[in-house]
């Protein structure tokens, strides 16, 4: 398979084609096997990744630096960049140019939308978006879609419920768009309070090829879902705390709610689970993938992505 | 020698048997030789260690990440974890589960007792305790015992003085218990103010097989000691600062105090030395091992431990 | 060529001889080639560098840890050391001794002059100064001199303009002294407000073998310069903000000012550019080397230096 991603940036899932997905997912299969069998190899030996996290992160940061090292690469690990040249007044563009002379790729997280894309304009090396504010989080979407398609290889149609904060949750934005690029027909259930609804332009986009059912009641979607994808409802998004208290129970998943679910349903979450939106009693449930497959797949997807971007 | 530690946790020295000590110490000898001759090797190639320090550390953290890298392994270096998912409200259990899907072992330091043990209940990979509050610090105890037994290979009986804060000093708790697992008879001198005395349950334990002499005067123990193990007396443990000022000189070791010591006595300290409890004039004294053997042995013990845990 | 730098410290450019420069620069040529062709190699395999930055840094820190890893070495990356043993009251000497038992070399940045030299007195392994307050920054000087001599291989005489804060800028101190060790005759233009003039002892030193022209007007030096080396004028150095506002435009370089410059002039800056002392319109000008050659050469010089210090 020709590697069309070599030397390319990945700042949004919009740039990915079905053939790119196929390439990354095939490579991801191999990375999972490699990790189990040998831990890693030397395919990125002599390569350095600069992990420029202008907003601190635990999970994504650690997953990325692990991926780089499992393939023999080196790391510039800057988690929560501060006390740095940026504070001395250096422009973002200069910072990017500096690191693009040291490293072979830049993995950038930023609290504001668009900064990874801005970086691509001046970087001499490929840039990967590791989350830009409420914007996108393409590697999370890749791992989520990989997890879904590998779980249901034979189904031609899937009903996917996205629940919680669909407005500010960058994860679900990238995920919804990327699901459209698979060869499956997707029926979406979008579950959120009105004030946290999916942005209009994304809803319009997915309505072109998918059925979309919008509701504020999680319970209405349980019995038809193949995938229930939960996200955090962040208390600080609500001006009125009482409103948050009232709403949050609509977005709480527990065993009792799942009694009406399909037998093969899978439960996903991008983590961290902060407000008990998924009951702890589900952590070890075989239907729950958020503490297992999603994490393992996340590491493997990032290994695959770094490999295809850095090796021809 | 069969490797009974492969895949095992190490959260307390209580779990170690005499044969485990023999295995680790034999491997430590080899690691010292390896470091001098070649710097390291590839025995942990393809392995990743997650160093989750919920309380910041300089020495132990650096020693562990050096050990991992000298054997060709990769690192997730999180010194003083914060601004992280934990702050977003994620449970400790979830954090542990996340890292146990990325890494091949977890090395955990935590300000509260028991967290490394808690981690073993949910981790899919081995957990090593790198210090849990006033609890235990097993790798420090291993390096200390290694230092002592290699220094006195032919002596069947040793008098070991532990001085300073024996109540909150996790190092001396692990050390006292681990010394009992060697093939030497140990006579303990426990030197501390009454309010900082060794916890009752540890004293009871060591009295079963050792003689124990308790005093608040360091000077009373100098002439009979083979090992003088000093620890910090932390000012903040005292409600009355005047009491601290009065007591601290009882726990200060200098050349003049050592005039009555045995010729072969060794002076140890887990570092850092903060309040001049060992006079600087002793830093380069051949009897002092705290800036030399203990550090070199600490690195080698950690290399040995990671190797036996991660390689069958 | 005999490697006279093996096992040596580098705390000041004063210790470097012309033959050392030749050795480092020849090795730097090879490192640039190696990086382009293979990314790196294993010449520092089994070696660990401890990067002890008591003052945080982005660029120098990242450049050094990249250099170490491109040659297969491991890292103890402590950027902005704090919450550490130092805070618990440990002496600087003890901290240095600790790390010199773990690592094969210490790379030290410190906010106060002289600490790297202090470290050499107790370290068991080579120490490299990565910047000590307003003192020196020898690896920056090496990369700057390398950049200059490789740009003008055939010129026997060069006019070098140093502009901005020449008093507190450690970079220009090391650079001025090191330029004297090349085989070129150097004519210096020193451009600064009087209160930020080059320290007297350095001016005396360079006057022995070079012509020196001192002025507070950048414009007076443009037409004769082969090299224009700009530095930050730091606002906080001025007691009177009005004075800063008045002066700063004298040290601003833009395209219009360069119309009178020589065709082959090169523009350099140690970065970060914080107060627009070089106009952004020059960032992509072929005469500007600060975002290109200086950075690439900085990485290669540090690879070369670590290699000659750590390999016989």
CATH 3.40.50.1370 fits C13-136+295-310, yes or no: yes
Complex-level ipTM = 0.94
| Res A76 pLDDT > 90 | yes
Average pLDDT for C245-254:
79
Query: Which of B74, B83, B98 shows the shortest C-beta gap to A59?
Result: B98
Give tens-digit pLDDT for A37-57: 999 999 999 999 999 999 989
Average pLDDT for A75-97:
82
Q: Which residues on neighbouring strands pair with residue B187, listed in sequence order?
A: B159, B211
Give tens-digit pLDDT for A235-262: 777 778 887 777 776 688 999 999 999 9
| Sign of the torsion formed by the C-alpha atoms of A82, A83, A87 and A88 | negative
Fold of A138-294: Rossmann fold (3.40.50)
Q: What is the pTM of this model?
A: 0.95
Q: Per the residue annotation, which of B28, B60, B139, B171 is the catalytic one?
A: B60
Average pLDDT for A97-105:
97
Is there a catalytic annotation at residue A32? no
Please give the helix or strand (H or E) that residue A160 lies within, else none: strand A157-163
The distance of B84 to chain A (nearest Cα, Å) reads 5
Average pLDDT for C140-148:
98
Judge whether C192 and C167 are in contact, CB under 8 Å. Answer: yes
Give tens-digit pLDDT for A174-209: 999 999 999 999 999 999 988 889 999 999 999 999
Interface residue of B39, B77, B281 to substitute, partner C, most C CBs within 10 Å = B39
Per DSSP, C13 falls in state: G
pLDDT-derived band at A227, boundaries 50, 70, 90? very high
| Res C236 pLDDT > 90 | no
Give tens-digit pLDDT for C169-187: 889 999 999 999 999 999 9
Q: Which CATH class is domain C138-288?
A: alpha beta
State residue C83's pLDDT score.
45
Average pLDDT for B196-217:
94
Interface residue of C45, C74, C103, C121 to substitute, partner B, most B CBs within 10 Å = C74
Q: If you average pLDDT over every residue of chain B, what do you get?
A: 93
Q: Which CATH class is domain B138-289?
A: alpha beta
Give tens-digit pLDDT for C28-38: 999 999 999 99
Give tens-digit pLDDT for A274-287: 778 899 999 999 99
Task: Write the DSSP assignment of C210-228 as a string of letters.
Answer: SEEEEES-GGGGGGG-SEE
- Give the residue extent of every domain in chain B: 13-136+295-310, 138-289
Asked whether the beta carbons of residue A74 and residue C66 sit closer than 8 angstroms, the reply is yes
Q: Which residues on neighbouring strands pair with residue A132, listed in sequence order?
A: A110
Query: Which of A46, A88, A90 shows the shortest C-beta gap to C39?
Result: A46
Measured distance CA(B223)–CA(A124) in Å, rounded? 69
Average pLDDT for B230-259:
82
The distance of B259 to chain C (nearest Cα, Å) reads 25
Average pLDDT for B73-79:
96
Q: Which long-range contacts (CB under 8 A, 24 or more apart) does A167-170 make?
A: A167/A134, A167/A192, A167/A195, A167/A196, A167/A197, A167/A198, A167/A199, A167/A237, A168/A134, A168/A196, A168/A234, A168/A237, A169/A134, A169/A231, A169/A232, A169/A270, A170/A131, A170/A132, A170/A133, A170/A134, A170/A135, A170/A136, A170/A137, A170/A140
Residue C106 vs residue C168, higher pLDDT: C106
Interface residue of B62, B67, B69 to substitute, partner C, most C CBs within 10 Å = B62
pLDDT-derived band at B84, boundaries 50, 70, 90? low
Residues of A with CB under 8 A from a CB of C: 45-48, 50, 74-78, 81, 83-86, 88-91, 93-95, 97-99, 101-104
Judge whether C268 and C144 are in contact, CB under 8 Å. Answer: yes
Q: Which residues on neighbouring strands pair with residue C227, listed in sequence order?
A: C160, C266
State residue A232's pLDDT score.
85
State residue A83's pLDDT score.
46
Asked whether the beta carbons of residue C89 and residue B296 sit closer than 8 angstroms, the reply is no
How many degrees, rounded to 5, is the angle at CA B231 between CA B227 and CA B235?
Answer: 155
State residue B87's pLDDT score.
61
| Res C249 pLDDT > 70 | no
Identical fold for domains B13-136+295-310 and B138-289, yes or no, is: yes
Query: Which of B39, B57, B291 shows the shortest C-beta gap to C46?
Result: B39
Least confident span in B23-37, B72-86, B273-287, C21-35: B72-86
CATH of A40-136 given 3.30.70.660, 2.50.20.10, 3.40.50.1370, 2.40.320.10:
3.40.50.1370
Average pLDDT for B200-218:
94
Six token digits for residue B148: 């002592």
State residue B145's pLDDT score.
98
| Res B210 pLDDT > 60 | yes
Q: Per the residue annotation, which of A118, A137, A181, A184 is the catalytic one?
A: A137
Task: Give Cα separations from B242 to B239, B246, B247, B274, C164 (angstroms).
Answer: 9, 6, 9, 18, 54
- Percent of chain A whose predicted confidence (pLDDT) is above 90: 82
Average pLDDT for A150-168:
95
Give tens-digit pLDDT for B141-150: 999 999 999 9
């Amino acid at each position: 398979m020709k590697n069309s991603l070599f030397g390319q940036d990945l700042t949004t899932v919009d740039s990915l084609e079905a053939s790119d997905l196929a390439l990354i997912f095939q490579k991801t299969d191999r990375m999972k096997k490699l990790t189990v069998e040998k831990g890693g190899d030397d395919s990125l030996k002599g390569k350095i990744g600069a992990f420029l996290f202008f907003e601190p992160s635990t999970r994504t940061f650690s997953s990325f630096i692990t991926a780089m090292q499992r393939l023999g690469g080196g790391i510039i690990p800057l988690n929560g960049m501060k006390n740095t040249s940026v504070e001395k007044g250096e422009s973002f563009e200069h910072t990017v140019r500096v690191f693009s002379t040291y490293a072979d790729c830049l993995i950038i997280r930023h609290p504001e939308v668009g900064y990874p894309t801005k970086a691509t304009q001046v970087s001499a090396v490929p840039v990967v978006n590791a989350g830009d504010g409420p914007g996108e989080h393409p590697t999370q979407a890749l791992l989520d879609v990989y997890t879904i398609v590998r779980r249901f290889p034979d189904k031609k149609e899937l009903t996917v419920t996205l629940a919680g904060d669909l407005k500010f949750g960058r994860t679900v934005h990238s995920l919804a768009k990327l699901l459209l690029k698979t060869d499956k027909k997707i029926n979406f259930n979008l579950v959120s309070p009105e004030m946290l609804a999916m942005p209009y332009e994304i809803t319009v986009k997915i309505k072109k090829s998918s059925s979309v059912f919008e509701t504020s009641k999680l319970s209405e979607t349980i019995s038809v879902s193949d995938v229930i994808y939960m996200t955090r409802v962040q208390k600080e998004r609500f001006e009125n705390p009482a409103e948050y208290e009232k709403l949050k129970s609509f977005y709480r998943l527990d065993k009792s709610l799942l009694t009406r679910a399909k037998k093969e349903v899978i439960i996903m979450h991008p983590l961290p689970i902060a407000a008990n939106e998924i009951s702890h009693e589900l952590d070890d449930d075989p239907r729950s993938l958020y503490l297992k497959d999603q994490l393992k797949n996340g590491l493997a997807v990032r290994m695959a992505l770094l490999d295809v971007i850095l090796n021809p």
